[in-house]
Structures are given as structure tokens and as C-alpha cells.
Amino acid sequence: MHLIYSRVTYLLIFYWFLLGCLLPLHGNVFAAEEELLAGNQSNGAPMIAGVRKIENNRYATTASYEDVIEFYKKTFKGNTHIKMTRLIHFPALKAMHIANLSSYSNNTWQGLNIYTFKQETRIFVITNQ
């Protein structure tokens, strides 16, 4: 029973992730309107160098998934207000959620979803609004 429950749980998390992060992608992600992120922050969330904006709160980077995860592990090392959860880890699809548990009023981001999509690493910023 435990094995069945855990498989169902992982499938639900997988579908939740797909519906929330991957399916809303639309438009030409390689359009000339892509901008490099200034200041390496989005809504107060730190960003790895070289990210470019695809849509509102959605970014792409040329860095590998492992490099992005390592960047955030170093950035948030020792921070008790940050919780990292690996959502999916398949060869073709990897995803991690970083939750911001801080209650400070100047924080405008609740979390980050980092995932691979078509051999490109994407970062989605979840805001308080």
C-alpha cells in the first residue's frame, strides 16, 4: 500500500508541476525581445548571472541545471528561511522548488521553480501577488 501511495503522490506532484509551470509557456521564447535581467534579481529573488527574461517572472539561462542548483545552494547556505525540495528527477526532466519561508514585508517572492525544458534551464519566480 505504501508503494502505491507514494507513486500516486509523485504523479500528482508531477502533474501539478506541469500544469503550474510548463504548460503556460506560450509565444516565441527565442524572440529578440528577450532581455537580460538587470541587477541579477527578480522580485527580490537572486538570479544566476546571464539569465534572460522570457515572460513575466519566467527566465531562461544557458547554465546547466546542476550549475543553477549549485548557485542557489551556495547563495542560501545557512539561511533557515529557505527550503529546497526536489520535485522531479528524470533524465529528460528535472525540477526543484525553493520556498521562501521568510515573513519580512519587503519580500515579494514566495518561491522559485527551477526546471529543464528542451535542454534549457528555466527559472520561474512565484510572487506574493
Query: Which residues in 1-129 belong to E strands, given as ranges?
Result: 35-36, 41-42, 45-46, 52-55, 58-61, 82-89, 94-100, 109-117, 120-127
Question: What pLDDT, on a 0 to 100 scale, did the predictor assign at position 115?
Answer: 95
CA distances from 71 to 49, 52, 55, 75, 77 (A): 10, 16, 22, 6, 10
Integer Rg of the chain from CA: 15
β-bridge partners, 83: 99
pLDDT value, residue 92: 81
Largest separation between any pair of C-alpha atoms in the chain: 52
Whether the Cβ atoms of residue 46 and residue 100 lie closer than 8 Å to each other: no
Count how many domains the chain has: 1
Which residue has cell 527559472?
A: 123
Q: Which grid cell sits at 22?
A: 510548463
Q: Residue 9: what pLDDT?
A: 57
- Owning domain of residue 107: 2-127
- The confidence score (pLDDT) of residue 29 equals 35
Note the pLDDT of residue 94: 92
What pLDDT shows up at residue 26?
A: 38
pLDDT of residue 90: 85
Work out the angle at residue 45's Cα, subtended by the Cα atoms of residues 40 and 48, and round it to the nearest 5 degrees: 40
Per-residue pLDDT of the chain (129 residues; tens, 9 = 90+): 444 555 555 544 554 554 454 444 433 333 333 343 445 777 788 899 889 999 999 999 989 999 999 999 999 999 888 999 999 888 888 999 999 988 765 668 899 999 998 889 999 999 987
Predicted TM-score (pTM) of the model is 0.68
- In this prediction, residue 24 carries a pLDDT of 44
